[in-house]
Amino acid sequence: MSHSSQSQPNTGITDLEIKNILLVDDDEELAFTLKQLLELHNFIVTTAHNGAEALREVLAFDFDVIICDMMMPKMPGDMFYLAVQRSKPELAKRFMFVTGHADNPKVDAFLKSVDDAVVIFKPVLNEELVRMISFVLNRTENKAN
């Protein structure tokens, strides 16, 4: 579950190009599938199955992208986002929300309250996921310059 700092095989990829993703979803099967997909794209993926677990990961490590499900036990996505916004505000722009509850008024209101929220609706399409990760990475890298 936790971030590992194993050395990468020499594939010509520099450490600067390897991006760390935190994937937060209580659907363990989906999380496993997405983790495998993302690892094929040379991302290092840490999974957490609820917001409380994810918050511990974020407090220990700065992730490049945080893919966050909205509806989870223990701490839903909106509460997790607000906790990260308070504890590590610089990571707030690295969020990408995933939801299967497009018609839920509470989810909808939360997503509208987040500036420039990046949202993907389930079922997640692989190409869309990778494209949106690139969008979030470009957005945060451009802000840093």
Q: Which of 53, 114, 121 is nearest to 81 (CA)?
A: 114
pLDDT of res. 6: 43
Provide the residue ranges of all domains of the chain, joining segments of one domain with +: 20-140
C-alpha gyration radius of the chain? 14
Q: Which fold has domain 20-140?
A: Rossmann fold (3.40.50)
Query: Which pLDDT tens digit goes with each residue over 28-66?
Result: 999 999 999 999 999 999 999 999 999 999 999 999 999
Two tokens at 74? 């223990």
Query: Which pLDDT tens digit goes with each residue over 69-107?
Result: 999 988 999 999 999 999 999 999 999 999 988 788 999
pLDDT of res. 12: 42
